[in-house]
């Protein structure tokens, strides 16, 4: 084979956490937690963010989550186009 094919891989945990975030329910969050034997948690955006940071720690998405949630301290610069 002389060519490379890039594949986009998305984890089921990522999809479940996005589902909870978009629907405002704790269903996906608790599915992810139940998979590893953790207790259920109530829905809150902070719980979703914490679970994404833990579950997807070495996947390379945390930086983009910070940008999306504007937690990197540079949201004003982006709004001004700097």
Can you give the pTM of this predicted structure? 0.74
Model confidence pLDDT, tens digit, residues 40-63: 999 999 999 999 999 988 888 888
Please determine, for residue 79, whether its predicted confidence score (pLDDT) is greater than 90: no
Please determine, for residue 77, whether its predicted confidence score (pLDDT) is greater than 80: no
3-state SS, residue 58: coil
Please determine, for residue 82, whether its predicted confidence score (pLDDT) is greater than 60: no
């Amino acid at each position: 084979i002389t060519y490379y094919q890039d594949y986009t891989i998305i984890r089921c945990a990522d999809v479940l956490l996005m589902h909870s975030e978009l629907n405002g329910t704790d269903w996906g969050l608790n599915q992810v937690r139940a998979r590893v034997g953790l207790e259920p948690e109530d829905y809150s955006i902070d719980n979703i963010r914490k679970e994404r940071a833990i579950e997807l720690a070495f996947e390379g998405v945390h930086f983009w989550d910070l940008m999306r949630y504007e937690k990197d301290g540079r949201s004003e610069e982006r709004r001004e186009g700097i």
